[in-house]
Chain A
């Protein structure tokens, strides 16, 4: 198989796309919707914030393996983090998805490092960052749709 392809569809990503974690509605949480008009990926991100801490993060939606797995891993990673930590992780995740593992210092990114392969597929970067942009909108209290086209 093409090595870049193997790098993109790592086991972690395929597995999370098949069995997404925290795939549910969070009542009373902050919420935002993300949409990629180019490919039709849709995601709703819920985040329960208390005293600046992300107590719970969940999502619903439909999309490709990359966008679904990215949302799923994001909800796992961010649970229990502060808003400031979440913002820093997004910055690093964005660098990872656009510039690859080395640029982002992937080793300390844990599970998120699985998305390093996305950088070899420019047309798929927006799939990987859709949930993150949407989370950011939810944290800011922008209930309006975000778009990653």
Chain B
């Protein structure tokens, strides 16, 4: 496709994108909070669910529910088909080569723990190193700390700039012969920074280090292609992508997953068991012990279809406009300071107000019907880096509107009034 054709198509999809129509798909958005229309700006924590997802889950429980992978009966076959269908939807979403490389897990956190325990733990030798960044969520810090402490390995941290961008020059220096794994976020949950993961992965591979990308904040905003990225592991959760909570995905290259021991033992992950010896099931079932969140996987499949029908490019363009406008308008408000001003950002607007604690901002905005997050965003080392206890964070999704930015700005002026 030519550049002109791409531009034409994205312009066309932008034109046909009608945010008011999208909002109709989300029943939760129709309610009023303290008598005011709900302004939901906490999408980086979790997103609301479209009717299509709610219906898919409800239909599955009403009509097709049974356990999977073992039934000789009709319901079990239908359930298995729906579950495996969702896996195929997820594979297409990440453009992974094979469905067997998509491990369905509880969420990003479990995916990272799986890689820490099954990939890193058996390989790490004393003195080996794992590289993470200063902007990681606790879920991409603590699993590595646990495994490093156990194996005598070293966790090293790539710093960021004041704008919230990764110091690639320091990353290059820290990548060394002892680096076994690089674990980095694609999009920062607290700053919104989009990391140049293609470059991060290439640099790691030149040093023969494997790479895990935490995609929890990225997949709702950016199209991800694990083949063109050539990443070894990619993890994300369903609930930030308009799907259910309790379901997530670990993509891993088949050769790596194959060589890894199971994460948990139990039913469905075996092909035969005797008291003397158990042989494990093939991929991805080796990593899916026990009855999984079947309805969750089906809901995730429906969410991906919903998002794909609108088009991630369209969603990204819509959110980018909102973010740019919100950043410009908040910058102009007295006492407000933005935290995270990277050149490449997605979805997230973190800010602090001089002399006003983020929790008080959150409480005042709540009474205006505006839901934001106030706190350390499970990134305490990052808060320490900026010398602040917490931030207020507004984060955008497909259904947010320019009018909601007006409401946010008015709400922040209300905060200024209270703490005049």
Contacts and interface: CB of A to CB of B under 8 A. Distances in A.
A124 interface: yes
A121 B363 contact: yes
A8 interface: yes
A18 to B, nearest CB: 7
A62 B389 contact: yes
A40 B376 contact: yes
A38 interface: yes
27 contacts: A1-B417, A1-B418, A2-B367, A4-B367, A5-B363, A5-B418, A8-B363, A9-B419, A14-B418, A14-B419, A18-B419, A38-B375, A39-B359, A39-B374, A39-B375, A40-B375, A40-B383, A40-B389, A63-B389, A64-B357, A64-B358, A64-B359, A65-B419, A68-B357, A121-B363, A123-B363, A124-B359
B34 interface: yes
Contact of B360 (A2, A42, A66): A66
Given A5-B363, A124-B363, 7 more contacts: A9-B418, A39-B374, A62-B389, A65-B357, A66-B360, A68-B357, A121-B363
Given A5-B364, A64-B360, A121-B363, A40 B419 contact: no
Contacts of A123: 363
A43 interface: no
A121 B218 CA distance: 33
A149 to B, nearest CB: 12
Nearest to A9: B418
A39 B392 CA distance: 11
B414 interface: yes
B363, B364, B383: most-surrounded residue (chain A CB, <10 A): B363
Contacts of A66: 359-360
Interface string B376-389: 10001001000001
A114 interface: no
B79 interface: no
Interface residues of B, number: 22
Contacts of B383: 40
Nearest to A4: B367
Interface of A: 1-2, 4-5, 8-9, 14, 18, 38-42, 62-66, 68, 121, 123-124, 127
A42 B357 CA distance: 13
Nearest to A63: B357
Given A5-B367, A40-B375, A65 B360 contact: yes
Contacts of A8: 363
Interface string B270-284: 000000000000000
Nearest to A120: B367
B105 interface: no
Contacts of B380: 40
B115 interface: no
Contacts of B375: 38-40
Nearest to B389: A40
